[in-house]
């Protein structure tokens, strides 16, 4: 091959040509799955190496973009990078400029497990710490993104179930490095729970992937929730998503709407329950009134029986009965029937012939008077052979 036919470049020209080829032949945006190695902050920019174990390439996140990220990668993190190629012709240096970096699911789950184990060992995650939820809260705080479909669903559900409860909506960010902002909001709200009359807190975020919920695995955030002055209810993501915040909360709901359902009673069910309680109370009161009426009636009868007039009446009846008995047994009654009472002159009654002898003077009392008699003859009755 004749060298005269080969194109001739200066270094600058060669590098510029390479850059032109890259611009024309490579996608302006791409996804790159890699592992982060040796991340370093320099003048606010994050420099790192992206590798898959067999190859590597340099990467950078400019300071302006870094502030917008919800996640800052650490050494060894698996990540998905939305990036573009930057080629510096002066040094023929090729770098991936990261427009967004998200942790891979394996990284999210690894961090979740690490924080969970730490908090479990310290007793922060413990069923015994769970506090009961208020039955009919007058006021609750709702921390979520504003506006959002999750918030709209929660407001609608609250109005349908229990419109008496005041919902104080506190906006929180969901894009960028949001953990510090959420923590700051929670701390400020904790100082005003008494002032605002708050009885519970709802921390909600609708939808998204498990990676989007990584902020709710933040250790500082979860410690704050575990020690919050009022009960905490979480409604984060979907039913299958579980974060450390869910584990430290007093109640974990599957969705934001379910969090409102857990906190607020159903007014129709409450109305029916109230009607049932009213009927039970009515029956109980009626039963007690009847029992008390019977008790008073029994007592009135007892008091009547123990009254002086009643006692006099009973004594009068008893005396009348005794009078009738005495009257029935009175000798006068027998005398009127033709019988006579015989006694000695000394007044001793004579009941048989053995008590008298011939010549004795006797007094014979009859119904209308008495007479004196002398015994001239004694005649004894014949013995009773039938006895």
Q: How confident is the model at residue 327 (pLDDT cuts 50, 70, 90)?
A: confident
On whether the CB atoms of residues 29 and 86 are closer than 8 A, the answer is no
What is the rounded distance in angstroms from the CA atom of residue 29 to the CA atom of residue 265? 50
Token pair, residue 103, equals: 């942790």
DSSP 2-46: -GGGS----HHHHHHHHHHHHHHHS-SSEEEEEEEEEEEEETTEE
Annotated domain spans of the chain: 7-103, 109-265, 269-326, 332-374
Overall average pLDDT of the 176-199 stretch: 93
Overall average pLDDT of the 139-157 stretch: 96
What is the rounded distance in angstroms from the CA atom of residue 348 to the CA atom of residue 292? 66
pLDDT greater than 60 at residue 387? no
The CATH label, of 2.60.120.200, 1.10.10.10, 3.40.50.300, 3.40.50.261, for the domain at 109-265 is: 3.40.50.261
Determine if the pTM surpasses 0.85.
no
Lowest mean pLDDT among 56-70, 87-101, 147-161, 368-382: 368-382
Quick one: CA dihedral 179, 185, 186, 187, positive or negative?
Answer: positive
On whether the CB atoms of residues 33 and 104 are closer than 8 A, the answer is yes
Lowest mean pLDDT among 69-73, 129-133, 170-174: 69-73
pLDDT greater than 90 at residue 379? no
Q: Which residues contact 64 (CB under 8 A, 6 or more apart)?
A: none
Number of Cβ atoms within 10 Å of the Cβ of 222: 24
Overall average pLDDT of the 8-20 stretch: 87
Lowest mean pLDDT among 126-135, 198-207, 265-274, 319-328: 319-328
Average pLDDT, the chain: 89
What is the rounded distance in angstroms from the CA atom of residue 43 to the CA atom of residue 40? 10
Question: What is the fold, at CATH topology level, of the domain defined by 7-103?
Answer: OB fold (Dihydrolipoamide Acetyltransferase, E2P) (2.40.50)
Q: How confident is the model at residue 386 (pLDDT cuts 50, 70, 90)?
A: low
Number of Cβ atoms within 10 Å of the Cβ of 350: 16
Overall average pLDDT of the 38-42 stretch: 94
pLDDT of residue 301: 80
Starting from the edge strand earliest in sequence, which strands make up the sheet with 341-344, in order? 341-344, 361-366, 369-374
Angle at alpha carbon of residue 160, lines to 155 and 164, rounded to 5°: 80
Lowest mean pLDDT among 190-199, 326-335, 338-347, 371-380: 326-335
pLDDT greater than 70 at residue 1? no
On whether the CB atoms of residues 182 and 172 are closer than 8 A, the answer is yes
Token pair, residue 187, equals: 């701390």
Pick 334 or 295 by higher pLDDT: 295
pLDDT tens digits for 270-319? 888 888 899 999 999 999 999 999 999 888 887 777 777 777 888 888 88
pLDDT greater than 80 at residue 335? no
pLDDT tens digits for 260-272? 999 999 988 888 8
Choose from 30-39, 85-94, 174-183 the range with maximum mean pLDDT. Answer: 30-39
pLDDT of residue 385: 58
CA-based nearest residue to 232, from 245, 220, 244: 245
Q: How far apart are the first and last CA of the chain?
A: 178
Pairing, β 30-42 against β 251-253? unpaired
pLDDT tens digits for 337-363? 778 888 888 888 887 888 788 888 888
Q: What share of the chain has pLDDT > 90, as a percent?
A: 52
């Amino acid at each position: 091959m004749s060298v005269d036919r080969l194109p001739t470049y200066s270094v600058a020209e060669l590098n510029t040509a390479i850059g032109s080829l890259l611009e024309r032949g490579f996608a302006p945006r791409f996804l790159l799955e890699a592992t982060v190695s040796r991340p370093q902050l320099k003048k606010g920019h994050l420099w790192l190496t992206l590798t898959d174990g067999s190859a590597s390439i340099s990467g950078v996140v400019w300071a302006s973009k870094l502030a917008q990220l919800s996640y800052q990668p650490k050494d060894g993190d698996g990540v998905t990078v939305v990036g573009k190629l930057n080629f510096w012709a002066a040094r023929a240096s090729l770098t991936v400029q990261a427009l967004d970096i998200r942790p891979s699911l394996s990284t999210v789950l690894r961090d979740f497990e690490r924080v969970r184990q730490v908090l479990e060992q310290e007793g922060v995650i413990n069923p015994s710490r769970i506090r009961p939820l208020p039955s009919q809260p007058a006021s609750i705080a709702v921390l979520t993104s504003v506006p959002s479909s999750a918030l709209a669903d929660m407001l609608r559900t609250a109005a349908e179930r229990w419109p008496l409860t005041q919902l104080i909506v506190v906006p929180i960010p969901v894009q960028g490095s949001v953990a510090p902002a959420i923590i700051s909001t929670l701390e400020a709200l904790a100082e005003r729970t008494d002032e605002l009359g708050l009885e519970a807190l709802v921390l909600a975020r609708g939808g998204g992937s498990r990676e989007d919920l990584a902020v709710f695995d933040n250790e500082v955030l979860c410690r704050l929730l575990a020690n919050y002055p009022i009960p905490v209810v979480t409604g984060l993501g979907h039913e299958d998503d579980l974060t450390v915040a869910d584990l430290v909360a007093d109640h974990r709901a599957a969705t934001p709407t379910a969090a409102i359902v857990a906190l607020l009673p159903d007014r129709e069910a409450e109305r029916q329950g109230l009607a049932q309680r009213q009927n039970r109370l009515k029956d109980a009161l009626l039963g007690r009134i009847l029992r008390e009426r019977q008790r008073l009636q029994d007592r009135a009868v007892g008091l009547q029986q123990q009254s002086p007039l009643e006692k006099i009446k009973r004594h009068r009846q008893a005396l009348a009965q005794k009078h009738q008995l005495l009257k029935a047994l009175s000798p006068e009654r027998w005398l009127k029937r033709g019988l006579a009472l015989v006694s000695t002159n000394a007044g001793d009654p004579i009941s048989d012939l053995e008590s008298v002898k011939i010549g004795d003077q006797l007094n014979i009392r009859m119904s209308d008077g008495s007479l004196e008699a002398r015994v001239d003859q004694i005649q004894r009755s014949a013995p009773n052979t039938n006895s």
